[in-house]
Structure 1
Amino acid sequence: MIYDSPLVSGRLLQRYKRFLADVRLDDGREVTAHCANTGSMLHCAEPGSRVWLRDSADPKRKLRYSWEWVEVAGRWRACINTARPNQLVQEALQQGLAGHGPLASLTLGYQLQREPKVEDGRLDFRLHSHADQPDIWVEVKSVTLLNDLSAVQPGLGRFPDAVTARGLKHLQRLIATVAGGERALLLFCVPHEGINRVQAAADIDPAYARALAQAAAAGVEVLAFGVDFAHADQQAGMTLSQPLPVVIE
């Protein structure tokens, strides 16, 4: 995905009320940006961190700027806008339908449906085949929690960063889908340059960690993919890239 305008950089002053962030831009102006992230953003909302905002340039918007990226520990870029992983995965799925990109082996020969209905809600995507193949139901989760910034071997990303009843419900839906004879895929999108493997955060949400292990045992396919960042004065973007290992206990 390519942003429709260059990102504006600055320093985070504070994140508050979950959806608001005060930022001092590089030109000295202080602005309030929308924060599209309902999680705790552990390690991703430290005051003083370098951040990048999207400027909508829309006078009708209450908040002109949207917070997109943060530099974690002065080393790694991470995307904190939780709408972006679904966009990245959708882009990769669409490329895969034509036989290109990191998800081509999964999607070739299927048709893509966004936000398909299930019995008690929706999942993110459905891959439908006209051939004698089971449909594939896909749920996407964004991983931005780097476990230990001071670790000798850093790189362990964990999900979730806060208790997630919604995420637990999604796992239960995926398990039910497999029980019904179709395929189900939980895809961890990792828009964080410092993460090279993924694991459930059992200390934060033990119920989710247990359910993830149960889902994997039931036949839910669990994958993770990293994200490549591209940022220049005139263009910024992200691309779903290499697969990452998922540790399931």
Structure 2
Amino acid sequence: MQYPSPLQQALLIRRYKRFLADVELPDRQVITVHCPNTGSMLRCAEPGSRVWLLDSHNPKRKYRHSWEWVEVDQQHLACINTQRANQLVAEALQEDRIAELRGYQQVEKEPKVEDGRLDFLLHANGEASAYVEVKNVTLLPEHTSVGQFPDAVTERGRKHLLRLQQLCNEGHRAVLLFCVAHQGINTVTVADDIDSAYGAALREVMAAGVEVLAYQVAFDQQVPGMSLQQRLPLVV
């Protein structure tokens, strides 16, 4: 995916009220921007970090800039806009770039399931063939290259796992795809110390036949844009 306009650099002052952040622009002006991330953003919202903003150029918006990227530990880019994960996966599916999910002729977004919705339903030969749920991974603990999910307790995420397991039990292909939007991560694991219930559920559904994949995001600062690239090892 490519951004519609260049990203603007700034320095993070603070993130607060979940959806807001104050940043300092290169001209020393301080503005409030929209933070499109409802999670804890653990290690991705450190004051003083370099951040990249997308200007909507819409004067009617209360906060016309959105926070997109952050530089973690002064070396790794990470995308904090959780909406981008589904966009990147959708693009990769449509371009047949996910080796394990090739051969499907149609990609349906947000298909209904019994108790809600999942992210994608892939069709082959006119029939529903594979359900895919996407999770964004940006948590990288210090002094490691092993990223973790989740970065906060997620009952909603656990329920998504149980939905996938139920679909698998009904004979459907069910896939959980970790979209790793952090340059410093080269392996993915579960954050048992943060949410042990999620970790237990993940191992349970994998044993029941749910497939779990992890793919890393590549960043292009020149375009600017991002794309889903190489598969990463998963350790659970």
Q: Tell me which interval the TM-score lies in, with the shorter structure as reference length.
A: over 0.9
Correspondent of 1:118 among 93, 113, 120? 113
Query: Secondary structure of 2:95's partner?
Result: helix
Runs of 5+ consecutive residues of structure 1 not aligned to the other structure: none
The answer as to whether partners of 1:134 and 1:181 remain within 8 angstroms in 2 is no
> What do the CA deviations read for 1:168-208 (whole angstroms, capped 9, x no partner)?
11000000010000100000000100000111100101110
- Asked if residue 138 in structure 1 is aligned to residue 138 in structure 2, the reply is no
Could you state the TM-score of these two structures normalised by the residue count of structure 2?
A: 0.97
Residue of structure 1 aligned with 2:148, choices 158, 175, 178: 158
- What is the 5 A alignment of 1:177-192? 177-192=167-182
The number of equivalent residue pairs is 236
Q: Tell me, yes or no, if the aligned pair for 1:197 and 1:246 is still in contact at 8 Å.
A: yes
- SS of residue in 1 equivalent to 2:91: helix
1:64 and 1:12 mapped to 2: Cα distance? 16
Q: Quick one: which amino acid aligns to residue 143 of structure 1?
A: V
SS at 2:41's partner residue? coil
Give the TM-score of the pair, scaled to structure 1. 0.92
TM-fit CA distance, 1:105: 4.6
1:34-76: CA deviation from partner (whole Å, max 9, x where unpaired): 1111111111000000000000010111110000000000000
Is the 1:95–1:104 contact (alpha carbons within 8 Å) kept by the matching residues of 2? no
Using the alignment, how far apart are the partners of 1:59 and 1:19 within structure 2? 19
Q: Percent identity?
A: 59
C-alpha RMSD of matched pairs (Å): 1.1
Alignment of 1:212-223 (within 5 A): 212-223=202-213
Distance 1:165 1:26 in 2: 40
For 2:60, the aligned partner's letter is K
Q: Deviations over 1:61-116 (max 9, x none)?
A: 111000000000000000000000100000000001xxxx2x14513143110000
Unpaired stretches in structure 2, ≥5 consecutive residues: none
Moved over 3 A (4+): none
- What residue in structure 2 maps to residue 128 of structure 1? 123
Letter in 1 for 2:234: V
The residue type paired with residue 117 of structure 2 is R
> How far is the alpha carbon of 1:27 from its aligned partner?
2.1
- The whole-number CA distance in structure 2 between the counterparts of 1:176 and 1:128 is 19
Secondary structure at 2:171 match in 1: coil
Residue type matched to 2:169 in 1? A
